[in-house]
Amino acid sequence: MVPGGRAALALAASPAKAPAIAPTIAAGLARLGPRPPGTAAHAAAFELLRAAMLRAGLSRVETIPAPGPLPLRSLTGVLPGTTPGEIVLSAHYDTVPWSPGAGDDASGCATILAAVADLARTPLGHTVRVLLFDGEESGLLGSRAWLAARGPTGRERILAAVNVEMVGWSGSAGPVLLTFPVRRQGARAFAPGWLVHSLLRSGEAAGLPPSFLEAHGSLPAQLVLRATVPTYGADSDAFVAAGVPAATLSDSSLLHLDPAYHRQADTADRLDPTRLDRWVTATAAAVRRLDRLAGRPLPEDRYLVVFGRVWLPRDLYWIGFLLWGLLVVRNRPRRRPEAEAEQNRREGRAWRQRALPGFLFRLLFLVSVFLAPIFSVLLYPAVLLAHFPPRRGYGRVLWIVLGLAPVALLLYAILYAFAAEAVRGLAPGGEVVFVAGALVAYAAYIVLVVSPRGADRIPRERI
């Protein structure tokens, strides 16, 4: 046992209130130093956590070995409920070889153990299973091994998994709810919308409302993540890839990463005990809210979180269809009295000659709404602007710039994410093709239909 190991075990076993034990356990783990598998510190951390799990009221505390060249040992224990269904709380206790890992992820281990001590005071319907994974830093080896050994039937019994990682450190931009894209059955998969909704609401009820993906700029972050392949991941990814709904609660996001991440500076003095205790309350609240569910709702992983609400495809369909309907209604050319029939015919011919860009814009927008509902939100400003096309040259330029601005901002955000090494590639798929085509048609409409010469000859129809 490395120096400080006995003291850490004593701290884990000392009497304390449920939330108050979180800073104690996190500090005890961090004082052990770096905890890569096979080291003395790793073995001491295993014993510390095993004692803390028993102290928190967990039963059937067991070791989970993982096959492979590394001596991996994960830990599991349960808080029995009245049904065989399970809610998983997970974190990892291994570290990279050079970091004490107070935030990553002693904080997560301490938070869920303190949350379990709080949950043990009231009866629950679902069994709460705690998993303290090993080998996360080596490629989610511990979580993948456990899920593979669990089998399809065992995985089906899990209602959802809540992973807690890198919480409670000072200077965070704010709590976030993370879900990273993974490959499942040949397609990209995310945490389902119902789980995101539940975790967002439980955080609000606990006084620690998380943002989705980013504390600042959630909507751009969502579009970036759906268009790219992120560099980072978490144990929740292994659950989603195995078909189990899962997400991660954190104080660290892709663009507001903990500055001590994977560094020697990730020590216990950086953790804020008050904030860590608030995370304990929020984690327990998340489990209690999930416990109200009788089973998994219908899965849907295509959604946007805006204004704290999860907007599913059906919501985006209705919004897009309404905007499209307004475009169609406003596109009808005005008719004048019969005395001006000849002038109407001339204007009608001119209108038909210039109607193609507007028709393509409407068509491509409608296709985007139904085939790429998430990315179709990039077209909303252009659709609104198209209802009031300008008649002057400078106005047309401004309208085009404003209509194309959302896509330009998304491209900038993607480039920024690449520069920050938060993403490593573009996601496969052609959803953005329809959006790009619609924007080209929009620009053509503004340039051709609202040209200076056409303005005098064409009624003020709008696409």
Kindly indicate the confidence band of residue 4, based on its pLDDT and cuts at 50, 70 and 90. Answer: very low
Kindly indicate the confidence band of residue 449, based on its pLDDT and cuts at 50, 70 and 90. Answer: low
pLDDT for 137 equals 94
Residues 94 and 111 occupy one common structural domain: yes
Residues 287 and 346 occupy one common structural domain: no
Residues 74 and 206 occupy one common structural domain: yes
Is 462 a domain residue?
no
Q: Give Cα separations from 405 to 203, 237, 276 (angstroms).
A: 33, 33, 40
Residues 249 and 321 occupy one common structural domain: no
Enter the pTM of the model.
Answer: 0.87
- Which range marks the domain in which residue 347 is found? 312-457
Is 388 a domain residue?
yes
Residues 291 and 349 occupy one common structural domain: no
Kindly indicate the confidence band of residue 333, based on its pLDDT and cuts at 50, 70 and 90. Answer: low
Greater pLDDT, 362 or 32: 32
Q: Give Cα separations from 410 to 72, 173, 190, 203, 301 (angstroms).
A: 41, 21, 20, 28, 21
Is 463 a domain residue?
no
Interval 252-287: pLDDT, tens = 998 888 999 999 999 999 999 999 999 999 999 999
pLDDT for 349 equals 55
Residues 159 and 39 occupy one common structural domain: yes
pLDDT for 342 equals 53
Greater pLDDT, 297 or 337: 297
**Given the DSSP bridges, would you call strands 72-79 and 59-66 parallel, antiparallel or unpaired?**
antiparallel
Is 305 a domain residue?
yes
Is 418 a domain residue?
yes
10 Å CB burial of residue 430 (0-12, 13-18, 19+) is exposed
Q: Which two tokens stand for residue 146?
A: 């456990």
Residues 278 and 316 occupy one common structural domain: no
Is 409 a domain residue?
yes
Is 363 a domain residue?
yes
CA distance 135 to 137: 5
Contact in structure between 14 and 24 (CB atoms under 8 Å): yes
Domain boundary among the residues 309, 337, 359 is at 309
pLDDT for 361 equals 82
pLDDT for 334 equals 52
* Largest separation between any pair of C-alpha atoms in the chain: 101
Interval 151-210: pLDDT, tens = 999 999 999 999 999 999 988 999 999 999 998 888 899 999 999 999 999 999 889 999
Kindly indicate the confidence band of residue 66, based on its pLDDT and cuts at 50, 70 and 90. Answer: confident
Kindly indicate the confidence band of residue 313, based on its pLDDT and cuts at 50, 70 and 90. Answer: very high
Residues 51 and 186 occupy one common structural domain: yes
Q: Give Cα separations from 168 to 96, 155, 223 (angstroms).
A: 19, 30, 27
Residues 21 and 159 occupy one common structural domain: yes
Domain boundary among the residues 278, 294, 309 is at 309
**What residue type is assigned to position 441 of the chain?**
A
How many separate domains does the chain show?
Answer: 2
Residues 182 and 228 occupy one common structural domain: yes
What's the CATH number where 289 sits?
Answer: 3.40.630.10
Interval 108-159: pLDDT, tens = 999 999 999 999 998 999 999 999 999 999 999 999 999 999 999 999 999 9
Kindly indicate the confidence band of residue 321, based on its pLDDT and cuts at 50, 70 and 90. Answer: very high
Q: Which of 251, 105, 239 is nearest to 182 (CA)?
A: 239
Residues 241 and 322 occupy one common structural domain: no
Greater pLDDT, 199 or 16: 199
Inform me whether the pLDDT recorded for 434 exceeds 80: no
Q: What integer is the mean pLDDT of 399-414?
A: 88
Q: Which of 66, 12, 14 is nearest to 37 (CA)?
A: 66
Domain boundary among the residues 309, 331, 347 is at 309
CA distance 66 to 61: 16
Percentage of residues in the chain with pLDDT exceeding 90?
A: 58
Residues with Cβ within 8 Å of residue 48, at least 6 apart in sequence: 5, 8, 9, 12, 25, 28, 29, 32
Is 57 a domain residue?
yes
Q: What integer is the mean pLDDT of 90-119?
A: 96
List, in sequence order, every residue forming a beta bridge with 187; answer none if it has no partner. Answer: 184
Kindly indicate the confidence band of residue 400, based on its pLDDT and cuts at 50, 70 and 90. Answer: confident
Interval 203-222: pLDDT, tens = 998 899 999 999 888 999 99
Percentage of residues in the chain with pLDDT exceeding 70?
A: 85
Greater pLDDT, 409 or 463: 409
Residues 235 and 192 occupy one common structural domain: yes
